[in-house]
A = this chain, B = another copy of it.
Amino acid sequence: MSRPHRRATVHDIAAAAGVSRGTVSRVLNGGYVSAEARAAIEAAITEVGYVPNNAARALKMRRSQAVAFVALEPHSLFLDDPNIGSIMLGANAALSLADHQMVSLVVESARDTERVARYLSGGFVDGAIVVSARTRDPIIKVISELALPAAFVGHPPDLDQSIPFVGIDNAGSAQAITARLLAGGRRRIGMIAAALDRDSGIDRLAGFKAALGTAYDAELVADVPHYDYGSGVKGMRALLAAEPAIDGVFAASDAIAAGALEALREAGRSVPGDVGVVGFDDSTWAVRCQPQLSTVHQPAKQLGSCAAQLVLRQLRGEVLEPGGQLLPTPIVWRESA
Contact = CB atoms under 8 A, between A and B. Distances in A.
Interface in A63-101: 64, 66, 74-75, 78-79, 84-86, 88-89, 92-93, 96-97, 99, 101
Contact of A115 (B51, B86, B96, B104): B96
B288 A146 contact: no
Contact of A112 (B96, B112, B288, B290): B96
Nearest to A258: B288
A245 interface: no
A66 B106 contact: no
Contact of A74 (B85, B96, B116): B85
A91 to B, nearest CB: 9
Nearest to A59: B55
A146 B64 contact: no
Interface stretch (A118-126, A152-160, A163-171, A327-335): A118-126
A20 interface: no
A265 interface: yes
A103 interface: yes
A58 interface: yes
Interface of A: 51-59, 64, 66, 74-75, 78-79, 84-86, 88-89, 92-93, 96-97, 99, 101-106, 108-109, 111-112, 115-116, 118-119, 121-124, 146, 229, 258, 262, 265, 284-285, 287-288, 290
